[in-house]
Structure 1
Amino acid sequence: MKRQSRLLYFLLLSGTIVLGLLSRFIKTIPLFIGDMLYAIMIYFLVRFLFPKARTKTTVLISLLVCYIIETLQLYQADWIVSIRATTLGRLILGQGFLWSDILAYTFGIGIVFMIENILKSSRNRQQKR
């Protein structure tokens, strides 16, 4: 089961990255959708790295990572600004601190947390039958 769950989270992680990148290139998609997808990607990454972690632990780690990365945008040393000037650096580290990003990250991880709990409870009900 461990290998299957890692594969599932890797596929979800990969799909979320693709959707997140598309959200940045399709101008009609609001920016907060990309921010929510970024947080969901972090969640799936944590799930991939720690497949046996409890869901609540995954939520806390994911939120912490997102909040740290967002807060790090307030730090403007030359070395990190030059990293952010690259495409990959901008996609991973962002460009400027926004409270709305914190909110989008919280909603994104909250949504994936609720979906995962619904799927788990549904699976548990089916196993009891």
Structure 2
Amino acid sequence: MNVPSAPLPSPRRVRLISLVLAVLVLALGLASRSKSVAWPPFFAEYAGDTLWALLVFLLLRFVAPTRPVLHVAAAALAFSFAVEFSQLYQAPWLNAVRRTLPGRLVLGAGFLWSDLVCYTAGVLAGLGLSAAFRLRAATPAS
């Protein structure tokens, strides 16, 4: 028996919502690293990495709005894990990039197992937001 489902959102709507959420997440992520705000210790420790992975998820949704959301989640998690594991590689040129502000924000500075948990939580938050905004793939599944 076929159950009617809600119409899928247009790629344009997926992109718009993803972009707006990405800007908000980016602002909150940068604020979470601010030493001038007295964040609760748990938030100050883990929010930045969690929000970073959520931002990766949202940017991938923006770039590929018609891809199935689980594919986007897998790609975001794989990318996040790859960046974290790349921190085990300490080439002088790469460390020079990591010493810059953009390099530190994108590539991180040192490997931590807890970051992998944060990345997983961030991507799961992205899946939750996609469900809340009904941002499934904009093309019907075959």
* TM-score w.r.t. length of structure 2: 0.80
What is the deviation of 1:14?
A: 1.2
Superposition deviation, residue 37 in structure 1: 0.3
CA-to-partner distance for each residue in 1:63-102, whole Å, 9 max, x for gaps?
0000000000111000000000101110000000000000
- CA distance in structure 2 between the partners assigned to 1:108 and 1:35 by the alignment: 8
Cross-structure match for 1:69: 83
Whether the 8 Å contact between 2:58 and 2:126 is mirrored in structure 1 is: no
Kindly report which structure 2 residues correspond to 1:48-87, keeping only aligned pairs within 5 A, or say none: 48-87=62-101
For 1:112 and 1:47, locate their aligned partners in 2 and report how far apart those are by CA, in whole Å: 9
The structure where helix makes up a greater share of residues is: 1
Tell me, in whole angstroms, the C-alpha distance in 2 between the residues paired with 1:108 and 1:96.
19
Structure of greater Rg: 2
Q: CA deviation at 1:118?
A: 4.3
Displacement of 1:16 in angstroms is 0.8
> Offset of 1:15 from its aligned partner?
1.1
The yes-or-no answer on 1:120 pairing with 2:129 is no
RMSD of the alignment, in Å? Answer: 1.5
Aligned-residue offset at 1:27: 4.7
In the alignment, what sits opposite 2:11?
2
Q: Which residue of 2 aligns with 1:104?
A: 118
Alignment equivalent of 2:48, drawn from 15, 27, 34:
34
Equivalent position SS for 1:30: helix
Structure 1 residues 104 and 75, CA gap change in structure 2 (3 angstroms): same
Q: CA deviation at 1:4?
A: 2.4
**1:91 alignment partner AA:** L
Check the 8 A contact 2:77/2:120 in 1, yes or no.
yes
Deviation at 1:110, TM superposition (A): 1.1
Identity percentage over the alignment? 34
The unaligned stretches of length 5 or more in structure 1 are 122-129
TM-score calculated relative to the size of structure 1: 0.87
Instruction: Pick closer, same or farther for the CA change 1:118–1:13 going to 2, 3 Å.
Output: closer
**Aligned-partner residue type, residue 20 of structure 2:** L
* Partner residue of 1:19 out of 28, 31, 39: 28
